[in-house]
Amino acid sequence: MVASVFIRGGSLRHHWLMSDAAVSVRRYEPHDREAVVLLAPRLEFGVAHWRDAEAVRRAVAGWIDESLANADAEDREVLVAQVGEEVVGVVTVAQRRHFTGEVDAYVGELVVRAEHERRGVGSLLMHAAEAWARGRGLRHLTLETGAANAPARAFYARRGYQEEDVRLTKALGCPPQGSQVE
């Protein structure tokens, strides 16, 4: 249960007191970088099995790098969840224009450390991302996740997220890129 939500020093902070620990959500700071980077591999989960695993690993690391490098930008926010002194989760949210022209909030990455799953940390991070979006007057928050990421899909469905677009893929039976004979 959310015990308190308050503003301190101009930054949004949420405290969620749980049975075994207190979790707080605050803005990312540069000294969090190492802990956040260590969370990145968890984003590989649920990517379609036909995608190149090494390319997925590089892409996921790149997403986190880019989000952290732009954490101070006016149109985005990076928030971390902390238990004691330990960073246990991160969410990145930014403004993004939908094809209708409406500006949405868009969650690029959401990760919780495996040891802290199913304790409400992910929900608290999404609550904070949604509060950030509402504070900007944005009407929708969108995100993408792997069709095979059943836990994340269950998580988002529980939080009221509906499917809006579905991307379809067909394997065409060609050799992998780079191995074609010229």
Residues lying near ligand COA in the complex (CB under 6 A): 42-43, 45-46, 110-112, 117-123, 145, 149, 151-152, 154-155, 158
Q: Which CB, 51 or 158, lies closer to ligand COA?
A: 158
Closest chain position to ligand COA (CB): 122
Which residue, 31 or 118, has its beta carbon nearer to ligand COA?
A: 118
How far apart are CB 66 and ligand COA at their closest, in Å? Answer: 15
**CB closer to ligand COA, 78 vs 100:** 78
Yes or no: say if 114 and 78 are a contact pair by the CB < 8 Å rule: no
List the 141-143 sheet strands across, edge first.
2-8, 11-17, 22-27, 76-83, 86-97, 103-112, 141-143
User: C-beta of 144: minimal distance to ligand COA in Å?
Assistant: 7
CA 28 vs CA 99, 112, 153: distances in Å: 30, 14, 25
Q: What is the spatial distance between Cα 73 and Cα 76, in angstroms, rounded to a whole number?
A: 6
Nearer to ligand COA, 100 or 163 (CB): 163
Under a CB-based contact definition with an 8 Å cutoff, are residues 14 and 25 in contact?
A: yes
